Amino acid sequence: MCEHHHHEHPKKNDKSQLIKIILALVLFTGAIATPVSGIAKVIIFFTAYIIAGGDVVVKAVKNIFKGEIFDENFLMVIATVGAFAIQEYPEAVMVMILYQIGEFLQEKAVEKSRKSISQLMDIRPDYANIEIDGKLTKVSPLEIKKGDIITVKTGEKIPLDGTVIEGQASVDTSALTGESVPRELKTGDNAISGCINTNGLLKIKVEKEFGESTVSKILELVEHAGSKKAKAENFITKFARYYTPAVVAGAFILAIVPPVILHAGFSIWLQRALTFLVISCPCALIISVPLGFFAGIGGASKEGILIKGACYIEALSNPDSVVFDKTGTLTKGTFKVTEIHPFGITEQELLKMCAQAENYSSHPIAVSLKDAYSKEIAPASVKNVEEIAGNGVKANVEGDEILAGNIHLMEMFNVDFQKIDSAGTIVYAAKNRKFAGYIVISDEPKEDAKPAINNLKTLANQTVMLTGDSQKTAQYIAQELGLNKFYAELLPSQKVEKLEELIANKEKNKSVIFAGDGINDAPVLTRADVGIAMGGLGSDAAIEAADAVIMDDKPSKIVKAILIARKTMSIVKQNIVFALGIKALFLILGAFGIVTMWGAVFADTGVALLAVLNSLRALKA
């Protein structure tokens, strides 16, 4: 299960931060280079210390009152105040200066990560054009209501979801899908908010207010993407809980025990203890691990894959089973007439009578028949239309009774027909209760479905399809695409049961991923370890229910999502091993006096910076 948290890296004013560092460096250099001595020298060092480390001291004190004692600020303050106590003023000041330089560089690196994400998700519309008193006026998208007509000119973002009622244009969907190929929009097409009109003029009837639009939901998703914590981040939180008090105790022992046992100088061992504290700051882990996940989410977004949290990156990286819905996920979800088999009439006559009978229906099968016929149908030629739920249609066409539907419709009207077994939807037809033939309508696999399944077989233990379609159709698609398993004729509740079986039988520490195309798959999407909604463009239910959203409908993007997740997890693990390994080495060197406090700060800052830079590699998917 994902855990919610809010990791904040406070944004600082770059200019004031730089001025502070420069001023502290000038005072530090002046105190060392000038012949000033005594109390005056101490005052200059102390002033430089306050300029460079004043905010660290304030944060440490505030956190103590909040009960958060053992953080990096506390360690820095204890170490530097101790250095002042043993009159190691230059070391105390330089610790704070180097710390601030490191923080400045880390902030720049984090900013780069944020900018990469904000640029690729720069889809928030600034305004919408609406006609008021015969003139186009720019208004806030929040003011637009459902049913309003908006105008989108060349170069402008489509501000809200709607239907094109006038005009034709190419739109750039790359910010949403990661695809550089423009999409053509014409009258009657759905227009998705967040896309950019690259040419032409569009008039759009608004179907959703801004709060419900695609762009609004995506912005909300990205904004909260960092709020779900992965196991690796939980490990860092728990680790810090025990680690920091342990190193403080270790530093205390290092300062007290050796001088007592070895009768050595107290100041030498106190300095080593303070160095030990500086080295122990867990900055690299605290910053780089969440940043690694954040960068991974950004890298995926760049490819049109929106992942709702770090925990889902972790689950995506190690799949046991990748499970698919069929229609609209592995197949195009657009039905086409693939075979026409007439009995006693011509193919064109069979197609015409079925298209006429289905003329008033908006069912996908009816639409495919009318598309295949492609000629104008005179409304007057079709009378007494009776839709028989779940079976088909009965109509009077040019004086003849026409039946068009499934096997049950033929049986209902006692038509003597020939039963057909085919990998597709069969539309049986009868004219005046006499069998006239059948038409096969098929849903084609997506072009990249087969290569995606082949690649997924190398990344997961098995690929599975769950569908409500017939056994014959499911078997055909499964064989065509090379799926390991399929389950057909399932109701939505049965899909959930099959998925739960797969989850119960999965390998330990592995996940079950389910990919579906939206509202009908919501129960299964929410039950899977990672639910992936395909075709997030315009699919509200998909964005709401899923843990990840593929903004176009390509199954190959699931492969990309898994590869990005694996790269991100690899980077996160590298950072953990690298940071802990270097820390352990320098803690030992510091305890034996081999590394000075200056070296300790360089080590701490250097490790943090290298880990941050390594994390940013996840931005490049």
Catalytic residue chosen out of the listed positions 325, 469, 553, 604: 325
**Distance separating alpha carbons of residues 25 and 236, to the nearest angstrom:** 33
Cβ(221)–Cβ(549) below 8 Å: yes
Looking only at Cα atoms, what is the longest distance across the chain? Answer: 116
Residue closest to 578 by CA, chosen among 284, 287, 240 = 284
Residue closest to 245 by CA, chosen among 92, 68, 7, 55 = 68
Instruction: Look at the block and give the residue holding tokens 């728990």.
Output: 238
Q: DSSP code of 552?
A: S
Structure-token pair, residue 34: 């000038």
> From residue 83, how far is each of 263, 533, 598 by CA, in Å?
21, 57, 12
Q: DSSP code of 157?
A: B
Residue 325 is among the residues annotated as catalytic for this protein: yes
Q: Which residues 6+ apart lie within 8 Å of 540 measured at CB?
A: 212, 214, 217
Burial 483-500 (b: 16+ CB within 10 A, else e): bbebbbebeeeebbebbe
- The 3-class SS string of 302-335 reads HCCEEECCHHHHHHHCCEEEEEEECCCCCEEEEE
Q: Which residues 6+ apart lie within 8 Å of 479 measured at CB?
A: none
Cβ(444)–Cβ(457) below 8 Å: no
Q: Provide the annotated active-site residues.
A: 325
